[in-house]
Amino acid sequence: LKIEDTQPETHAFPWFGMDIGGTLVKLVYFEPVDITAEEEQEEVENLKSIRRYLTSNVAYGKTGVRDVHLELRNLTMCGRTGNLHFIRFPTQAMPRFIQMGRDKNFSSLHTTLCATGGGAYKFENDFRTMADLELLKLDELDCLIRGLLYIDRVGFNGHPECYYFQNPSDPNSCVKKPCNLDNHFPMLLVNIGSGVSILAVYSENNYKRVTGTSLGGGTFLGLCCLLTGCETFEEALEMASKGDSTNVDKLVKDIYGGDYERFGLQGSAVASSFGHMMCKEKRDSISKEDLARATLITITNNIGSIARMCAVNEKIERVVFVGNFLRINTVSTKLLAYAMDFWSKGQLRALFLEHEGYFGAVGALMELLKTSEDL
Amino acid sequence: MAECGRVDSNTSSHTMDKSITLPPDEIFRNMENAKRFAIDIGGSLTKLAYYSTVQHKVAKVRSFDHSTKEAAGDKLYEIAVQEEVTARLHFIKFENAYIETCLDFIKDHLVNTETKVIKATGGGAHKFKELIERKLGLKVDKEDEMTCLIKGCNFVLKNIPHEAFVYAKHADSEFRFQTTNPDIFPYLLVNIGSGVSIVKVESEDKFERIGGSSIGGGTFWGLGALLTKTKRFDELLQLASKGQHSSVDMLVKDIYGGSYACLGLTGDLIASSFGKSATADKEFSDEDMAKSLLHMISNDIGQLACLYAKLHNLSRVYFGGFFIRGHPVTMHTITYSINFFTKGEVQALFLRHEGYLGAIGAFLKGAEEDNPNQYSWGENYAGSSGLMSVSPDMNPMQRARSGTFPFDMLEMDRLDRQLVNLPLLQDPSSYIPDTVDLTEDAQAREYWLSCFEEALDGVVKRAVASQPDIPEAAERAEKFRQKYLHKLQTLRHQPFAYGSLTVRSLLDTREHCLNEFNFPDPYSKIKERENDIALKYYEKAVKSLEELSWEDRQFALVRGVLAGNVFDWGAKAVSEVLESNPEFGFEEAKRRLEDRPWLVDSFDQWLERLKGPPHRCALFFVDNSGVDIILGVMPFVRELLSRGTEVVLASNSGPALNDVTNSELQILTERIAAMDPVIDSALREDRLTLVQNGSSSPCLDLSRLDKVLAMLVRERQTDLVIIEGMGRAIHTNYYAMLSCESLKMAVIKNSWLADRLGGKLFSVVFKYEVPAGAGKPH
């Protein structure tokens, strides 16, 4: 942990933050653009090659992707100016990633690899034995909050990081609106990855995990794969965008012929997710797209419902949804915005962030920089 | 949403068999007098409710007119077996496939023509509306499903002891029944039909659907049918019970390699349901997917229920709906989920008669003019099938082969009296009448079941002998034997069938079965004879007591009560002696009593207490007729009266074994009053009062007592409760905590029980207790 021979003013490059989740690995990489000629000369060759490899590609291997649209340009961190890159790849590819670390002789760079997420624990030994790398393991919720607050503070290349939906109850006039997340606290932070964690955040260092649910992004994708034979999140979402969930779900009006007035339930509300699938004729008449849509709606509504109950129980009005389940998933973000607004009669507001799933990795990077500042 | 609208094509796999003949003795009983019908048709089961009256033989005791006493000869009183009409609620549950057969049967047997309407509820009610109206000629009147459900729920919670239970799969007994809390509100009802409704119930008429979820039984069924080759709900549950969810779900340890210790999340916790099916390129077994699905849905419902319970600050949460109904698998997963999310603060509660709630509620809606809520009702053990009588796991083909179709019944008798708590219970909500829970104590269960089985011959003989002039009595007695034997066998396999199994419930079941076959009072003749003999000795007994010194007399009085209590036909050891040696006398009984110090002996404290000021009023729960009441209890009562203590004698409302009934006691007391001026004046001055306890059981449930008794106890400022006999003071109430002084007296007339308590046959329990915190009375 103590790296005596580094320069006191700054931490040695490369700067990485890594978040190894159940499904995806999120990697942020700080590319310095203010390198002096002197530095350039001293820079070892494999450090250069790493930088070149990461910044000149947008895809790595078969499954790694750089989210170019999320890149933060000319960012100043720890006195250095550079670009922050956002890269993800499936956790399944972790062994190959570690292999690469060995091949590129990463251990010779004497950098600390800050990692969070469950994989930091699960793969710690593999890093050590295969690549001679020691991980600095960090708590994922600490990182999530720190990263989120940081990105919100620096903004998204001059624009706000945060957004919400105006008129969430009206599909025709519902529009995405940027906003500032000032007065952050308290907020209910709902992180939807493979599973879901719900945190009540009162300040940067004061938060609690309220609850969680196992019905998350992993459930959506897992069920979609089983039900439709699709293989990727993108594919599943594409199918869902074309389907009609009311062929699959049983609505209030399917049971009561209209609204269930005694309890103020609209006829269009879902009474039983997949309820029509109890019946053979209905099972035979639906499409894969319908199934994907129903799965998406079911999971999203459920998360919305639990989040809303938590917000009420914790007396928090602002609900911030993050996590990679929301990536390219406007069906879910709009549905969450609607659900918060409708069921709370306008009391709750759903907020979203552009860098959805990367805050843990950003938080891990900040821990690295904090480590060097402390020295 | 309460119930799934309709079942898919699998109903066709067991289409109706018109050749089925219904056994009228067993199903749709008392249809001749039936009125007020209600029906609840769910996705797969129909529940029918009706009100009927039952003609019962009851033993009426009539005193001879005193003025013509001479003419009546030696006879003490007259026992006449009369017909009495009592009200009964019938509930029957059967599969929808048999609905037409059942309607035909009802039409053929229905005599009452006043009935014009049938109340209907449940998702399937509209589907069968036309059929019902055509077959029965009754107008179908639809009632709101949720309203019926809540009404039914309130009714069973109030009227059926041990209605609610906690389910614990790995415990000694899977079912832990809850004691009846007199205050049932507020509670949360989570009804898991095809979707989930979460309802907060605050009072009889006030309830609110505070939330719900679309992920419910329909989701399990629908997704299960899509993911696996199994299409039936029950079979999907069976499939799930065989699976391993960890091959499909992503667990915390799959992500962390172990636990996520700093959050206290264990490695086995599910991080993402179906999380592995997104990444692993392998096939999953149907069992594993069904299991994963079951966990996902149960956990989700449990979590929401907990969030709502917390928000509304409710700790009683009942679960029902077809997802739960009698399925140990879902009761287990829901219980697990609730325990996890509330860390044990909230218990998941289930109901024995959950399947009947809608039908009961619909019935009550239609019967409002009869004010059914004004009465107390009791579960009839003879006519009710008990929990899990029809295994939900049984294959429909298997069922079809069994001849008739499977059905489940619940019968409830309207009690003549309204039943309430004894106001002197220290904590009514934690009061448990029974000393040993045979559901949990396997050894005791085995003993008592065998004991009751062995005693059956004697009971049958006694029953036949009690009706010497009725030729078909033997045949009826045989039917009784079969019925009770069947109950005992059921209880051997399913001790939880009627709530906690106890000696009391075994005794009560026997009484219910005897009544069912019109043996209302098999001991009437014996009781009469013994009362008669004992009366002859009363004056002598009192005289000899009066000759004793005060202190000797106090001891002799207690010994008298104890010796009297030896005369008990309900106890095996004694009934054998009484049968073989009719001369067995009071003195002989005294000799058999254990010498002091007794097994439980607080006589010295009692004696000390008697040296102090008299009690204001003593409530005495009496036991047997004959020697017990006349030579044991009455002299003791006489002494209390002489001390200036008022006495309330509480005896059974109806017959049970040789226990003295209230009507018998009225006559006996009059006779004693004629001989004894102390009793006579006390009666006339209202210092001695006879009341009925509201029960016909050899045991005593202090939470279900006649309202009049409770009022009297309050009015008289009762400060001493005396409970006598094995049934009332040992099998029940041995540990009952009262808020005033109490005296429990009994002779242990069962060697096994004596062993258990560390004593021997004819050991004495004399337990005098002063509630903690009460100052010494003097």
Sequential DSSP letters for A60-83:
ETTTEEE-GGGPEEEEEETTEEEE
Say how many CA atoms lie within 13 Å of A319 toward its Cβ. Answer: 33
Q: Is residue A326 part of a domain?
A: yes
- Positions of A marked catalytic: 140
pLDDT at B105: 83
B594 close to B760: Cβ distance less than 8 angstroms? yes
Domain co-membership, A276 together with A236: no
* pLDDT on residue B632: 95
Query: A75 vs chain B: nearest CA distance in angstroms?
Result: 32
Strands B705-706 and B720-724: unpaired
Q: Where does residue B213 rank: exposed (0-12), middle (13-18), buried (19+ CB within 10 A)? A: buried
| pLDDT at site B585 | 78
Domain tally, chain A: 3
Q: Of the candidates B7, B193, B272, which has its C-beta nearest A219's C-beta?
A: B272
Q: How far apart are CA B298 and CA B213, in angstroms?
A: 12
- Nearest CB to A255 within list B5, B216, B289: B5
* Amino acid making up residue A156: F
User: At residue B210, what is the residue type?
Assistant: I
Q: Is B4 on the interface with A (CB under 8 A)?
A: yes
Percent of chain B with pLDDT over 90: 62
Task: Based on the fold, state whether residues A364 and A264 are members of the same structural domain.
Answer: no
How close is the nearest chain B Cα to the Cα of A44, in Å? 34
Output the six-digit token pair for B741.
């002084």
Instruction: Report whether pLDDT(B403) > 70.
Output: no
Interchain proximity A278–B222, CB inside 8 Å: yes
Rounded Cα gap, residues B545 and B558, in angstroms: 11
CA-wise closest residue to B140 among B163, B165, B154, B122? B122
**Residues 265-304 of chain B whose Cβ lies under 8 A from any Cβ of chain A:** 270-279, 284, 289, 296, 299-300, 303-304
Give a yes or no: residue A173 inside a domain: yes
Asked if A168 and A56 sit in the same domain, the reply is: no
Is the CB of residue A161 less than 8 Å from the CB of residue A353? yes
Is the model more confident about B773 or about B256? B256
Whether A239 is covered by a domain: the verdict is yes
Integer angstrom CA distances of residue A80 from A2, A281, B200: 22, 64, 59
Same domain, A208 and A312: yes
Residue at A149 is within a domain: no
What is the DSSP code (8-state) at residue B732? Answer: B
Of the partner residues A22, A141, A278, the one whose CB lies closest to the CB of residue B275: A22
Q: Average pLDDT over chain B, rounded to whole?
A: 88
Contact B213, B227 (CB under 8 A): no
Q: Write a three-state SS string for B626-662.
A: CHHHHHHHHHHHHHHHHCCCEEEEEEECCCCCCECEH
- CATH code: domain of residue A51: 3.30.420.510
Calpha distance A165→A144 (Å, rounded): 23
Average pLDDT over residues B656-676: 94
Closest approach of chain A CAs to the CA of B37, in angstroms? 24
Q: At what angle do helices A124-131 and A94-103 cross, to 10 degrees?
A: 30
What residues of A are in contact with residue B5 (Cβ under 8 Å)? 250, 254-255
C-beta separation of B562 from B764 below 8 A: yes
The mean pLDDT of chain A is: 92
Count Cα atoms within 13 angstroms, Cβ side, for B762. Answer: 17
Asked if A277's CB is within 8 angstroms of B225's CB, the reply is: yes
> B197: which chain A residues are within 8 Å (Cβ-Cβ)?
263
Nearest 5°: the CA angle B458, B461, B462 is 85
Nearest CA in chain A to B278: A222
pLDDT at B695 over 70: yes
A1 confidence band (pLDDT: 50, 70, 90): very low
User: Which of B209, B274, B299 lies nearest to residue A223, judging by beta carbons?
Assistant: B274
* Residue of B255, B263, B277 with shortest CB distance to A225: B277
Give the residue among A114, A29, A31 at the shortest CA–CA distance from A64.
Answer: A29
Mutate to test the interface with B, among A116, A191, A211, A279 (most CBs of B within 10 A): A279
A197: CATH: 3.30.420.40
At residue A196, the 3 state secondary structure works out as strand
Q: Residues A317, A184: one domain?
A: yes
Q: In whole angstroms, what is the distance from residue B107 CA to residue A184 CA?
A: 70
Residues A319 and A196 occupy one common structural domain: yes
Q: Are residues A276 and A298 in the same domain?
A: no
Q: What's residue B7's pLDDT? A: 38
User: For residue A179, is it within any domain?
Assistant: yes
Q: What pairs with residue B745 in β-bridges?
A: B724, B766
Tell me the per-residue pLDDT of B170-198, one tens digit each, with 9 for 90 and over. Answer: 877 889 998 877 789 999 999 999 999 99
Pair B743, B609: CB distance under 8 Å: no
A7 CB neighbour count, 10 Å cutoff: 9
Indicate the pLDDT class of residue B342, thresholds 50, 70 and 90. very high
Which of A273, A285, A313 has the most B C-beta neighbours within 10 Å, making it the best mutation to test the interface with B? Answer: A273
Let me know whether A140 and A176 are in one domain.
no
**Is A153 among the domain residues?**
no
Mean local confidence (pLDDT), B736-750: 95
pLDDT per residue as tens digits for the range B113-168: 677 889 999 878 888 899 999 988 889 999 998 999 999 999 999 999 899 999 99
| pLDDT number for residue B112 | 66
> A206 and A226, same structural domain?
yes
**Taking CB atoms and an 8 Å limit, are B223 and A248 in contact across chains?**
no
Q: Quote the ipTM score.
A: 0.94
Question: Is residue B483 a contact partner of residue B375, using CB atoms and an 8 Å limit?
Answer: no
Rounded to the nearest angstrom, the minimum Cα separation between B624 and chain A is 56
- Chain B segment 91-150 residues within 8 A of A by beta carbon are 123, 144, 146-147
Same domain, A304 and A208: yes
- Which pLDDT belongs to residue B778? 42
Sheet holding A349-353, edge to edge: A175-179, A162-166, A349-353, A318-322, A187-192, A196-203, A206-213
Q: Choose, out of B146, B272, B284, B306, the residue to mutate when testing the contact with A (most A CBs < 10 Å).
A: B272
Q: Is residue A194 part of a domain?
A: yes
The lowest-confidence range among A122-131, A219-228, B22-31, B127-136 is B22-31
CB B464 within 8 A of CB B480: no
Cβ-Cβ contacts under 8 Å between A and B: the total is 209
Residue A169 carries which side chain, given as an amino acid letter?
S
Do A202 and A305 belong to one domain? yes
Kindly report the backbone phi and psi dihedral angles of residue A125, in degrees, each rounded to the nearest multiple of 5, phi listed first.
Answer: -70, -35
Give the angle A214-A220-A221 at the CA atoms, nearest 5°.
115
**Cβ neighbours of A302 in B, within 8 Å:** 213, 215, 300
Are residues B761 and B573 in contact, defined by beta-carbon separation less than 8 angstroms?
yes
pLDDT tens by residue, A144-178: 999 999 999 999 999 999 999 999 988 889 999 99
Q: Do A194 and A73 share a domain, yes or no?
A: no
Question: Phi and psi of B230, rounded to 5°?
Answer: -90, 135
Task: Determine, yes or no, domain membership for A85.
Answer: yes
Range of the domain at A267: 249-285
